[in-house]
Amino acid sequence: MIETRAKALGFDAFAVTRPDAVPELGERLSRWLEEGHHGEMAWMTDRSDQRAAPSALWDGVRSIVMLGLNAAPDADPLANLARKDRATIASYAQRRDYHEVIKGKLKEVGQLLSARSGASAKVFVDTAPVMEKPLAAAAGLGWQGKHTVLVSREFGNWMLLGAIFTAAELEPDAPGRDSCGSCRRCLDICPTDAFPAPYRLDARRCISYLTIEHEGPIPHEFRAAMGNRIFGCDDCLAVCPWNKFAEQAGEAKMAARADLASPPLAELSRLDDAEFRAFFAGTPIKRTGRDRFLRNVLIAIGNSGDLALAREAMRCLDDPAPVVRGAAVWACDRLLDDGRMRALANAHAARESDATVREEWRACSPLPCGEELELGVAPPDPTPASGTTPTLHPSPQGGGKRASFSA
Ligand code: B12
Ligand code: SF4
Ligand code: SF4
């Protein structure tokens, strides 16, 4: 009855487990944290005792209902990666923020459960210290694939998860069985080599983490590999063979926005704070904030190999946010030749006050400003020969390391 209501509300999967169903939870979480794989996500350590054991979060919990909402994309999420002047946004983020959609539905199911059982219930989606994937696997919604995401035989790996903790004693379902076999497609496709081993993710290397959670400048080693992924990453999910059984998401509230399928990088790079908030209202992107988002867009511009986008990057050299200016320096360096970069350094670097942005200027090769920058002295005049026009000589990968000036 409660399951029927949950499905009528739009959930695609519903199953029950016990709070102590995964005894290895604490040990695995501790290892992940000790290895530093959570990066700057301090909130993962803050209440790790509660995350490791549902009964530490709420000692009244007797059963956990895990629910899944299918959010399978309607097109191949990898297809847009080849459109270098466009941005690729993870499929889930092209939709309404699932936290809001799922939470509303969970509350309804939780209230019904409480009314029927006479026992209290609490609902969680994503933000509480609850390990949703292992609990969903224990409840039988699927299994944790080698990419660590929950895979279902019915919906592939596109389900988004939510949990209801209840004081009612409910009959648990059988756990899911690992059906990855010898497959390792998700591990092999990862552009940043973020899996130190199957079933283990080093978030610090994951583009999803770098574009959404990481606050400062993106470490240089990952920038080229990001390509045009500006918010999240679907690569390891997109290649899972179990997706062949997944149908397109049916929940109307979770319909993907057509204008987020392949937005032009040039337009995104021009968003000010108010425009950013208006454009991304209701999506998960809004929470990341305009500056970090622009940083990601500029990395994609640097990877575009498209000289027409260099002017957008140059405009951002004057952005008020250091994290945007820093990424703009990198993008310019990728697209423009040494002479033009020296000219830009002459105009911008010597008056740069932020240490991280100065570091970006210093990292340009060959150093356009070198020690003079450290001393705060303007570098010698590097103006390129007059009458030159920039033309692009893309790298073999199409990544675009430099335009050069030709007469
Ligand atoms: C932190 C977090 C992230 C971090 C870290 C991801 C991670 N794998 O931990 C970052 C920012 C990178 C991230 C990225 C993404 N996320 Co996220 N994220 C979370 C969050 C908040 C916590 C996850 C967590 O507890 N991590 C800690 C680690 C230690 O736990 P774990 O991943 O379960 O790791 C297990 C394995 O390491 C396992 N293990 C170790 N050894 C072995 C050996 C064997 C044999 C086995 C079976 C297991 C095993 O033990 C651990 C515990 O079970 C959850 C929401 C929630 N509250 O659960 C969403 C959540 C996992 N994310 C989700 C999504 C959709 C994504 C992205 C797809 C978004 C995107 N398109 O960009 C990517 C996927 C990247 C990936 N391959 O994981 C969904 C996944 C839905 C699903 N079907 O599973 C969740 C559940 C949110 C939701 N409510 O729907 N995410
Ligand atoms: S989301 Fe992308 S970067 Fe992160 S592990 Fe999967 S393929 Fe790698
Ligand atoms: S791609 Fe292969 S290894 Fe990865 S989760 Fe899917 S079935 Fe498992």
Which residue reads 């990862």 in tokens? 190
Judgement on whether residues 170 and 275 belong to the same structural domain of the protein: no
- Residue-level pLDDT at 380: 38
DSSP string, 148-184: SSEEBTTTBT-EEEEEEEESS--PPPPPP----TT--
Which structural domain range is residue 226 located in?
203-406
pLDDT for 398 equals: 35
151 and 299 in a common domain: no
Task: Using the atom order of ligand 1, give the atom closest to the CA of residue 125.
Answer: 89
189 assigned to some structural domain: no
Q: Is the pLDDT of residue 114 over 60?
A: yes
Cα of 206 from ligand 2 centre, angstroms: 5
pLDDT of residue 394: 27
pLDDT class of 365 with cuts at 50, 70, 90: low
**How far is the C-alpha of 140 from the C-alpha of 20, rounded, in Å?**
15
Active-site entry in 126, 173, 193, 291: 126
Count CB neighbours of 147 within 10 A. 27
Assign residue 14 the CATH number of its domain: 3.40.109
Is there a domain that residue 81 lies in?
no
Cβ count near 94 (within 10 Å): 26
Give me ligand 2 centre to Cα 232, in Å.
8
Smallest CA separation from ligand 2 atom 2, residue? 233
Residues 187-198 have a mean pLDDT of 98
The pLDDT, as a whole number, for residue 276 is 98
Question: Which of residues 129, 160, 177 is at a domain's end?
Answer: 177
pLDDT for the residue 255? 87
Residues 133 and 18 in one domain: yes
Q: What is the pTM of this model?
A: 0.92
59 counts as catalytic: no
Q: Are residues 261 and 393 in the same domain?
A: yes
Q: How far is the CA of 318 from the centre of ligand 2 (A)?
A: 32
Q: Tokens 């690992």 belong to which residue?
A: 178
Q: What is the mean pLDDT of residues 306-318?
A: 97
Which is the closest atom of ligand 2 to the Cα of 201? Answer: 5
The answer to whether residues 223 and 148 belong to one domain is: no
Among the candidates 133, 159, 177, a domain finishes at 177
Is the same domain home to 147 and 207? no
**152-166 per-position pLDDT tens digit:** 999 999 999 999 999
Q: Are residues 127 and 231 in the same domain?
A: no
156 and 263 co-located in one domain: no
- Please name the residue whose Cα sits nearest to atom 20 of ligand 1: 126
Looking at the structure, tell me whether residues 172 and 207 fall in a common domain: no
Output 338-342 pairs: Cβ under 8 A, ≥24 positions apart.
Answer: 338/366, 338/368, 338/402, 339/382, 339/384, 339/385, 339/388, 339/405, 340/384, 340/390, 340/403, 340/405, 341/368, 342/368, 342/379, 342/382, 342/383, 342/384
Which pLDDT tens digit goes with each residue over 314-347?
999 999 999 999 999 999 999 999 999 999 999 9
- For the chain, what percent of residues have pLDDT higher than 70? 88
Indicate whether 89 belongs to any domain. Answer: no
pLDDT in tens, 12-35: 999 999 999 999 999 999 999 999
Residues 252 and 154 occupy one common structural domain: no
Average pLDDT over residues 226-250: 91
Q: Please determine, for residue 146, whether its predicted confidence score (pLDDT) is greater than 60.
A: yes
Q: Is residue 78 in some structural domain?
A: no
Work out how many domains the chain is built from and give that number.
2
